[in-house]
Amino acid sequence: MAKIKKMCKAAKDGFKSNEDEILSEIRNAKFICKKCLRSASDKKLLCEPKKI
């Protein structure tokens, strides 16, 4: 299973084979993207991360 690169990009592509990774990122989210309002556990997965 391919590791997702960015939640911001994954959001545009929708769920593909990486549904589990996306759901896990959202469940463990510690950062939110100020631009796209996506969340992730790792700030590297967001284009403009802000800690939540």
**Which residues bind to Zn ion, rule: CB under 5 A?**
8, 33, 35-36, 47
Give CA–CA dist 35/43, Å, rounded: 13
Minimal distance in Å, beta carbon 34 to Zn ion?
8
Q: Which is nearer to Zn ion, 4 or 47 (CB)?
A: 47
Q: Which is nearer to Zn ion, 6 or 24 (CB)?
A: 6
Positive or negative: CA dihedral 38, 43, 47, 51: positive
Give CA–CA dist 10/18, Å, rounded: 9
Minimal distance in Å, beta carbon 28 to Zn ion?
17
